[in-house]
Chain A
Amino acid sequence: MEDIIQIEIEDRDGTTQVIEVPTDVNLSLMELLKASEYEVLATCGGMALCATCHVQIKSGAENLPEPQDQELDMLDTLPDADNDSRLACQLRLTNENEGLSIKIKGALQ
């Protein structure tokens, strides 16, 4: 099927599931996580201002867009960020991202 990819999501408690993602509607990973009923605050609505949509990329990082300064600055403020950290709101998924695997890490308050 075209324009549908599968990505694997691990929640904070370790539960993992694979979800199907349409790639022709220009959704960000943050919007997808919210639409899939995952607990993500996304306080700032996708402006890369709050870092509550922090995710760890377990595999497939090389096919994601390069982070811009704003995202890197924000990641830098996260005490629990690591080299495989990204902000889900800055990741627009395309067909390239088939098989992406992530873990949700964003703060809940």
Chain B
Amino acid sequence: MITTDICIIGAGPVGLFAVFEAGLLKMRCHLIDVLPQVGGQLSEIYPHKPIYDIPGYPTIRAQELIENQMKQIEPFKPTFTLGERVDGLEKQEDGSYIVISSEGTKIYCQVVVIAGGLGCFEPRKPEIVNLAKYERKGIDYMVKNPESYRDKKIVIAGGGDSALDWTIYLTDIAKEITLIHRSDSFRGAPDSADKVYELAQKGRINLLLSHNLADVHGAENLSHVIATNKLKEEVKMEADYFIPLFGLTPKLGPIAEWGLNIDKNAIEVNTMDYSTNVERIYAIGDINTYAGKLKLILCGYHEAALMAQSAFKYVYPDQKLSFKYTTVNGINTF
């Protein structure tokens, strides 16, 4: 079990800055992030993009900002659990919490700070009524074990790289493979697209272009996938497995089950201190919402500072908090 004062969920720029603000008040932090590296969106999505609205930096690359922030919080010795998603939360009798990850890692803390940004990226699901009925009974949203498709009839849907790549890869494994794509051309890598056209010409795969998914059927397990063309004419295909590959979409994930007040995928907070409706749980950065909310890194930093002042009373219930400037006191390392 990892023991800390504050467990921060999300290691993006706002989560990282929360370590600094907590550190000034002698509160230790442990950060957990589903991504394999720190930096959140900045490192994962736009590391090379310049950011123009960080005070003191006319322009700074996203990745550089994260590197600077890591240096800034070094004195406060934060600890990290990366590549794991937060799944569970157990409230203790004295009000403290144990945060539990997807891999079973446990973090004992006095305060939980959710700095989850966009949330977790989960596979995007097509809006088909019966889809959920066959999840894990023939419908997979990612290919975990290619061997499980050996000699099976597979239908893949999507037009991106992963749909193309898996279609090519599974051609030699599956008994029969069909690729459905809503458009008549692919935006994935040209090499992969050429390969798919070639496989279709040789009759090794079925290629259904300009078709949209309509429905899935089956008894206990999936048996058929139905697609329609632009004239709404139906094509019904036998399928042992259906793999819709439509990229990833941000979701709140398991946090949505914690009894927090949620409005449109964001956590409602009190702007006095960015606390949620659940005691000792705060939400800062893009994941929260309040009247006048702006999704700016800048605003997340401010939210982190106020959160830390408020969280102090749970970590040091017997001490009086006195506000200090870094220019007067510097920073005291742990």
Distance in Å: Cβ of B255 to nearest Cβ of chain A: 14
A77 touching B124, Cβ below 8 Å: yes
Interface residues on B, range: 20 to 34
Contact of A50 with B by CB under 8 A = yes
Q: Which residue of chain A lies nearest to B157 when distances are taken between CB atoms in the complex? A: A79
Q: What per-residue 1/0 map shows which CB atoms of B156-198 lie under 8 Å from chain A?
A: 0111100000000000000000000011000100000000000
B182 touching A49, Cβ below 8 Å: no
A109 touching B265, Cβ below 8 Å: yes
A72 to B118, CA, bound (A): 21
Q: Which residues of chain B are within 8 angstroms of A72 by Cβ–Cβ distance?
A: 187
Q: Which residues of chain A are within 8 angstroms of B286 by Cβ–Cβ distance?
A: 45
Q: Which residue of chain A lies nearest to B245 when distances are taken between CB atoms in the complex? A: A77
Q: What per-residue 1/0 map shows which CB atoms of B77-102 lie under 8 Å from chain A?
A: 00000000000000000000000000
A39 to B248, CA, bound (A): 21
B246 touching A77, Cβ below 8 Å: yes
Q: Is the interface of B mostly helix, strand, loop or mixed?
A: loop
Q: Is the interface of A mostly helix, strand, loop or mixed?
A: loop
B232-289: which residues lie under 8 A (CB-CB) from chain A?
A: 244, 246-250, 264-265, 286
Distance in Å: Cβ of B116 to nearest Cβ of chain A: 12
B183 touching A83, Cβ below 8 Å: yes
Distance in Å: Cβ of A79 to nearest Cβ of chain B: 3
Distance in Å: Cβ of B301 to nearest Cβ of chain A: 16
Contact of B103 with A by CB under 8 A = no
Contact of B213 with A by CB under 8 A = yes
Distance in Å: Cβ of B134 to nearest Cβ of chain A: 16
With A72-B187, A79-B246 in contact, do A49 and B160 touch (Cβ < 8 Å)?
Answer: no
Contact of B127 with A by CB under 8 A = yes
Contact of A76 with B by CB under 8 A = yes
B160 touching A80, Cβ below 8 Å: no
Contact of B104 with A by CB under 8 A = no
B250 touching A77, Cβ below 8 Å: no
A50 touching B249, Cβ below 8 Å: yes
Q: Which residues of chain B are within 8 angstroms of A41 by Cβ–Cβ distance?
A: 264-265
Q: What per-residue 1/0 map shows which CB atoms of A40-82 lie under 8 Å from chain B?
A: 0101110101111000000000000000000011101111111
Distance in Å: Cβ of B299 to nearest Cβ of chain A: 11
A73 touching B160, Cβ below 8 Å: yes
Contact of A107 with B by CB under 8 A = yes
Q: Which residues of chain A are within 8 angstroms of B157 by Cβ–Cβ distance?
A: 79
Contact with B187, one of A45, A50, A52, A76 (Cβ below 8 angstroms): A76
Contact of B219 with A by CB under 8 A = no
A77 touching B160, Cβ below 8 Å: yes
Instruction: Enumerate 18 A-B pairs (CB-CB under 8 Å) in ascending A order.
Output: A39-B264, A43-B119, A45-B295, A47-B41, A47-B45, A49-B41, A50-B249, A50-B250, A72-B187, A76-B158, A76-B159, A76-B183, A76-B187, A77-B124, A77-B248, A79-B157, A79-B182, A79-B213
- Write the residues of chain B forming the contact surface with A, with a CB cutoff of 8 angstroms: 41, 45-46, 118-119, 124, 126-127, 157-160, 182-183, 187, 212-213, 244, 246-250, 264-265, 286, 295
